[in-house]
Amino acid sequence: MLKIIYRFVPIYISICVLAGCEINSIEDVAIIQIAGYDYIDEEKFRGTVSVPEFSRFETGSTTSEKYFTATGETLKEIHAKLQGKSSKPLIHGKVTVNLYNEELAENDISFLLDNLLRDASIGREVYLAVVDGSSKNMIETEYSESERTARYINGIIKNNIEENFPTTNLHDFSYAYNAEGMDGFLPLLKRYSDHIDIQGIAFFKKGRFVHTVPFSDSFVFKIMKENMKRGNRKIEYENHDYIIENIGSGVKYHVVRKMEDPKFRVEINLDGILNETTRFKLPQDPKFLTKLEGKLEKDLEEDCLNMLEEFKEKNIDPIGFGNVLKSRVRGFDYDHWKEIYPSADIEVDVNVEILETGITS
């Protein structure tokens, strides 16, 4: 008998808890899925949100989107004004994308990031992005009759992260923001008449947008930043173009010399497939693939070193060399590291192995 009673206790408790919870229908609330912020002046900024409107008769089917915009000096003021314009409570828990226009990002988005991190209802996998232009216009443009703007932008970022673009979301950015010896980065988006493109990578110094590299160089940054399973790279060799598909790359950071005269070696190992070329047939030279591997290694090493020099000139460390050094040195002095980072010696060693051609030779 006791076993039967114990078996039903959890069910009874669950019923009691659920009975005490207030459950809102999606028809009774306005669920914010994307929010954007634009710089107005030194004192004010503008917030824009988009909420899906659901059919009264077919609960769950989206019929349209509704937009709310307000201007204020603080985020709380803007949110209060947005609530005042909505006939239903605005709910933030389903936000998937937050946008910041370039001018606002250049003036620091730390206070907006802090608000996101303090809201326990918002997941850490929210995508953040910088907008070339107006985030309001980007949100309010209709791109597809069958796909909401939040889902569309979310898909663009997620799809490119699976390819050439480095991994980034609220969790990653906040980690870099709070870490000693590491700086964050976000996608840089641009709206065209009927679509959105990733223009490049926006690099930050804490909460301030200070540097960018074009999307065409995102593969170079990604192979230095993280292990990859996909992506591709075009190289030119003997007046022909070749596309190398990355099927697996890994990166390791070696501290050759420590705090007083730091030196790092970035070791990148890449396995790839030759899957496209402008040649009608591949050369009969038995050493052709070895030469192609050498050319790609040289190109990537040069591109990586050039990019690292740009980072040092801007005094940003998105790779996180300072964070690597901190984990391997006792008594790490962050203030001293900031002074010596621009002169730190960094080597890049790329090893490429083309496993197959994947095309008719």
- For domain 227-361, the CATH architecture is 2-Layer Sandwich (3.30)
Neighbouring CB atoms inside 10 A of 51's CB total 24
Q: What is the domain partition of the chain in residue ranges?
A: 1-215, 227-361
pLDDT tens-digit profile, the chain (361 residues): 445 544 554 554 454 444 444 445 556 777 889 999 999 998 999 999 998 876 555 554 546 788 999 999 998 899 999 888 877 877 776 889 999 999 999 999 999 998 888 877 787 789 999 999 999 999 999 887 668 899 999 999 999 999 999 999 999 999 999 999 999 999 999 999 889 999 999 999 999 999 999 999 999 999 999 999 989 899 888 888 889 898 899 999 999 988 888 999 999 999 999 888 877 677 777 788 899 999 999 999 999 999 999 999 999 999 999 999 999 888 888 999 999 999 999 999 999 999 887 655 5
The answer to whether 202 and 318 have CB atoms below 8 angstroms apart is no
Q: Which single residue is written with the structure tokens 């709910």?
A: 91
Beta-sheet pairing, 240-257 with 263-277: antiparallel
Q: Give the single-character DSSP code of 155.
A: H
What does pTM read for this prediction? 0.87
